Structures are given as C-alpha cells and as structure tokens.
Amino acid sequence: MKRLTELLDSNREWAEKINQEDPAFFETLAQQQAPEYLWIGCSDSRVPANEIVGMLPGELFVHRNVSNLVVHTDMNCLAVIQYAVEVLKVKHIMVVGHYGCGGVAAAIETEPHGLIDNWLRHIRKVYQKHRELLSAWDNSHQQLDRLCELNVIEQACNVCETTVVQQAWANGQDLKVHGWIYGLSDGLINDLEFNAANAESVEEEYKLAINKVEKLRELVQNSEKTQNARSLWDKVRSIFN
C-alpha cells in the first residue's frame, strides 16, 4: 500500500513551523477547546473555514457537508449543533454557502447523479419554493448564485428551528444564527443579513433576507443584468440602510 509521504512530510514541516513561531501553541491547544463560533459549511475543498476568517485551530468549531444543508433527520449535523450549543456554549452559528456550489447546481439538473440525489432533494425543494423569484434570472450562472443564496437562508432558518437552538433561546442563552455566502472568485464573504438572536426574530429575519433577494430581482429587471453578485448586494444594502 502506498503511503501518503508528501502529506506526512508537509505535516511535519507545518508542525515545526508552528513550534518555531509559538512553542506553547500545541500544548495550549490540547488543553481546551473554547470556540465562540460554529461554522456549518460546504464540503468543497476550496472553502477552508478557518483560513477564510483568519482564525487558528480551536477558535472555530466546524461542520461540513455537501451544500451546507441542515436537515432535521441528520443526526450528524444535529449532534454537532447540540455539542456546540450545550457544551461549548458557542455564541454564533454561521451557515456558510459559496457561489458556484456544485451540489446546488446538481440539484436542479435533469440527469441523475446516483445516491447523492436523495440528499440534493432538499435543495430541489428550495428551488421549487422560490421558482417564481428565480425565474427573473435567465442567465444560468446568475440564477445559480441566487439559488445558492436562498439555500443558505433556508438552512439558517432550519438551524433556528432545531430543538437545540429553540431550547437554548428559551433558556436565555446568548446565541445568534447567521447566513453567509463565500465568493470563490474574490475570497470575500457576503453577509446575507439573516441574523436571528431569538425565536421571536426568526420569521422577521427570514422575511427580510428574502425581501433583499427580491430587491435584487428588481435591480435585474431595471437593466442591472451585467452586475455581479457582490455589486448587486452592495446596492441592495444601500437601499435598505
């Protein structure tokens, strides 16, 4: 069996570099885990959670799956959320998608993809729910951008509806849920402005986030079709703020 020598060598080089920069780093890291953030993101290898937000190991608790879904029957995801909220006492949960997500694209394609289609049907339902809104974008790339954004908003809402988060809020725990999306082309995070801090705010935050996507549609209908996602969102924020 071939050993992954290159990766093992790289690991040693990385550990030596860290030790030279901070001799106490690994000793301190091994003693405790106290992150304030839970990142629920996509499995895509181009989206390294810690690096994107400039955090070191131990500062960000991470769960990843195909297309950053939060499904109420997914015990893996729910167990991560429970541990993060009840044990680590994180203060923020960020659902983070990314533009150009292959899973989101596959969810609305007509050809079968095998087993993963069962997972992607959750995104297909998001597409069907917002079909009229998405129809404003005749460009497939731009429509995919919007669906990636809508998927994040829906999954952030799903986080809020978990029994774990609902109970935490009922107990008065300081916990906020956010919806973000990452741009592979520029390395920047776009805040989709879903920011729920309690059970009462979830519906309002959801409606506000969806309203902003609808405002994007108005901009497109007014000859803004060539604008990229970030410039369109900048215009939307200027309107709402």
Active site residues: 42, 44, 46, 98, 101
- Residue 119: predicted pLDDT: 97
**Domain extents for the chain?**
1-31, 33-240
3-state DSSP helix/strand/coil percent for the chain, to nearest 5?
A: 55, 15, 35
- Residue 226: predicted pLDDT: 60
Give average pLDDT by consecutive 10-residue segment, the chain, 241 residues.
86 93 87 89 94 90 98 98 97 97 95 96 97 87 94 98 98 98 94 96 96 88 68 82 72
Q: Which CATH number fits domain 33-240: 3.10.20.30, 3.30.559.10, 3.90.950.20, 3.40.1050.10?
A: 3.40.1050.10
- Residue 138: predicted pLDDT: 76
- Residue 141: predicted pLDDT: 87
With beta carbons less than 8 A apart as the criterion, state whether 61 and 35 touch: yes
For 47-108, the DSSP string reads --HHHHTT--TTS-EEEEETT----TT-HHHHHHHHIIIIIS--SEEEEEEETT-HHHHHHT
Question: Coil, helix or strand for 169?
Answer: helix
User: Which pTM value belongs to this model?
Assistant: 0.92
Q: Which amino acid is at 47?
A: V
- Residue 137: predicted pLDDT: 85
- H or E element: which one contains 238? helix 229-240
